[in-house]
Amino acid sequence: MIAVTGASGYVGGVIAAGLGPDVLRLVRRPAGLQDLAWSFATPTDVLAAELRARGVTHVVHTAWDMQASKLAELEAGCVAGSLRLIEAATAAGARVIFISTISAFAGARSAYGQAKLQVEQAVFDAGGVVLRLGLVMGAGGMFGSLRKSVAKGKIVPMIGNGKEPQFLLPEASLVEAVQAALAGRFDAEHAPITLANPTPVPFREMVQRLALEAGRKIVLVPVPWQLLYAAFRTAEGLGLKLGFKSDSIVSFIYQNPAPDFAVQARLGIEPPGWD
């Protein structure tokens, strides 16, 4: 029995759908028999009892607060809640597979990357598996948002000069990797497994390819990242929710200079590139 946190979100939804109808979905607002009410505030003993009663053997942890932009917020919510989840899963005899991010690495400057790193260590301490995802290619997330923006408008704002490398991960490759983790293929790994095609695609080229797919002619307008960062920080200070956060700009600009794909290659995982 497999449980997936954040199954109502994009990545969690892709994984849950790929694993089949019997997956137990841990979500804030249950809507069906296979849904279980859960949030980062759920007490450890309550969740452990539920997991044990349902015979859960694996927990795929994808849930995250994508609105929080400060490290203190993430530590109080996502990190603390993830630690309770890991403790509950361990008490119930379930193994944790943590869906992390390529933005998590030693020296990460973004709050997002730093908070994910803290959870990664707790997962390893509990004997779990960590999958660091590149940019998932699909209808949701950042890739999906860009696709929609390109399909609608002729002028597309671009952070900086557009040279920032994007490491892409097809949805099917993500599901296959999670299935391999559930089958125990990664049990002996004690390092994060970075999942993405190792050939980077510059951000500018990625947007241009999306425009070509949509049959659109677009104009890319470079915007200094410092200006965007200041604008989003100001909006966040005023309590505004814009669907994008200042910390995401930090993740975008200060990326991992050398993502390690060695484990992925050794395990024979080969996510295809963007044809």
pLDDT in tens, 153-170: 788 888 888 999 999 999
Residue 125: name the closest of 104, 105, 100, 98 by CA: 98
Q: What percent of the chain has pLDDT over 90?
A: 80
User: Cβ distance 4 to 26 under 8 Å?
Assistant: yes
Cα–Cα distance, 33 to 39 (Å, whole number) = 17
Report whether 244 contacts 236 (CB < 8 A): no
Q: How much is the average pLDDT of 243-261?
A: 91
Sequence letter at residue 157: P
pLDDT in tens, 14-73: 999 999 999 999 999 998 889 999 999 999 999 999 999 999 999 999 999 988 889 999
- What is d(CA 42, CA 23) in angstroms, rounded to the nearest whole number? 20
pLDDT digits (tens, 9 = 90+) for 131-145: 999 999 999 999 998
Return the structure tokens found at 239: 């309590």
State the pLDDT at residue 160: 87
How are beta strands 155-159 and 219-223 bridged, if at all? parallel
68-124 pLDDT tens trace: 889 999 999 999 999 999 999 999 999 999 999 999 999 999 999 999 999 999 999
pLDDT at 243 over 80: no
φ, ψ of residue 227 in degrees (nearest 5): -65, -45
Beta-carbon neighbour count of residue 151 at 10 Å? 14
Assess if CATH 3.40.50.150 describes domain 2-266.
Answer: no
Q: Judging by DSSP bridges, how do beta strands 24-27 and 35-37 pair with one another? A: parallel
Q: pLDDT band for position 149 (50/70/90)?
A: confident
pLDDT of residue 274: 84
CA distance linking residue 172 with residue 187, whole number of Å: 21
Place of tokens 């020296």: 107
- How sure is the predictor about 237, in pLDDT bands with cuts at 50, 70 and 90? confident
**Confidence grade of residue 275 (pLDDT, cut at 50, 70, 90):** confident
pTM of structure: 0.94
- How many other CB atoms are there within 10 angstroms of residue 91's CB atom? 15
Q: Is 202 in contact with 164 (CB distance < 8 Å)?
A: yes
3-state secondary structure the chain: CEEEECCCCHHHHHHHHHHCCCCEEEECCCCCCCEEECCCCCCHHHHHHHHHHCCCCEEEECCCCCCCCCHHHHHHHHHHHHHHHHHHHHHCCCEEEEEEECCCCCCCCCHHHHHHHHHHHHHHHCCCEEEEECEEECCCHHHHHHHHHHHHCCEEEEECCCCCEECEEEHHHHHHHHHHHHCCCCCCCCCCEEECCCCCEEHHHHHHHHHHHHCCCCEEEEECHHHHHHHHHHHHHCCCCCCCCHHHHHHHHCCCCCCCCHHHHHCCCCCCCCC
> Per DSSP, what are the bridge partners of residue 95?
58
pLDDT value for 236:
86
* Per-residue confidence (pLDDT) for residue 67, from 0 to 100: 86
176-206 tens-digit pLDDT: 999 999 999 999 998 999 999 999 999 999 9
The pLDDT value recorded for residue 31 is 86
Q: Which residue would you say has higher pLDDT here, 247 or 153?
A: 247
